[in-house]
Amino acid sequence: MRHQRILRELALFRLTLRKLGPLYFVPHLFLYGLIPLLGAGYLAYHGDGENARGLIFYDFQKFLPFFGCWWVLFGLASYVEGSASELLQVYRPSLLGLFWLLWFWYLLHMAVLFGGFSLALENYWLDFPLLAIQSLAFAGVGFFLLCTARNLLAPFLTTRFSPCSLERIFSASATCFPSAGWNIFHSWFSPTGR
């Protein structure tokens, strides 16, 4: 009984991934194409591993959290918008199980990327929990907005073009405020007034 339910969930998961069509391969192009290509370019340009490691980590923070919500948004969009969404909601009242399956599938792809980088360059596994939490936050925000707004455009644009997105908050090299505006804001609240 329980194993039949698990097999049914996995079959639905496979159909959800097949339904994506060419959109399924977009994160693959970035994870296994663009990021390793940029990493090799950074190593060739800088020569030393320290500058290249920082730039590679910056690219990890730039691309990996956003693509954590890619399969979640496009895979679950038919459940909340479209002509048969009411029928799908009756058949499947909760989308949380499918959300977790899609996110864990993306986490496995991230682990393969980190394994490849740790074999070829340096060990990036210490950064993996941070990027996994960031990708879960992006996927969670996108899933929440997808279910509340009942369309795909609002969560996709919010997770991609938010001015103070999580990748900037968690990044040490970038801030949410422009540098001139931050200096003025900081001078108002500093005890010395500078």
Q: Which two structure tokens, joined as six digits, stand for 63?
A: 């691309």
Q: Which residues contact 93 (CB under 8 A, 6 or more apart)?
A: none
pTM of the model: 0.73
CB pairs under 8 A, 24+ apart, for 168-174? 170/61, 170/130, 170/134, 171/58, 171/61, 173/54, 173/58
pLDDT tens string 86-116: 555 656 667 788 889 889 999 999 999 999 8
**Neighbour count for residue 157 (Cβ, 10 Å):** 11
Cα–Cα distance between 22 and 80 in angstroms, integer? 21
pLDDT of residue 111: 94
Q: Assess contact for 43 and 49: CB atoms under 8 A.
A: yes
Highest mean pLDDT among 9-13, 32-36, 172-176: 32-36
pLDDT of residue 132: 92
**Residue that wins the pLDDT comparison between 33 and 158:** 33
pLDDT at 194 over 60: no
pLDDT of residue 106: 93
pLDDT of residue 85: 62
pLDDT tens string 137-170: 888 888 888 878 777 766 766 666 654 454 454 5
pLDDT of residue 159: 67
pLDDT tens string 54-77: 888 888 888 888 888 888 888 888
Cα–Cα distance between 146 and 121 in angstroms, integer? 38
**Neighbour count for residue 99 (Cβ, 10 Å):** 20
Residue 172: pLDDT band (50, 70, 90) is: very low
Look up tokens 């690219």; give the residue: 59
Q: Assess contact for 57 and 124: CB atoms under 8 A.
A: yes
pLDDT of residue 162: 57
The mean pLDDT of the chain is: 76
Q: Assess contact for 150 and 182: CB atoms under 8 A.
A: no
Look up tokens 């980088």; give the residue: 117
Cα–Cα distance between 189 and 118 in angstroms, integer? 43
Q: Which residues contact 192 (CB under 8 A, 6 or more apart)?
A: none
pLDDT of residue 179: 41
Q: What is the largest CA-CA distance in the chain?
A: 69
Cα–Cα distance between 174 and 41 in angstroms, integer? 22
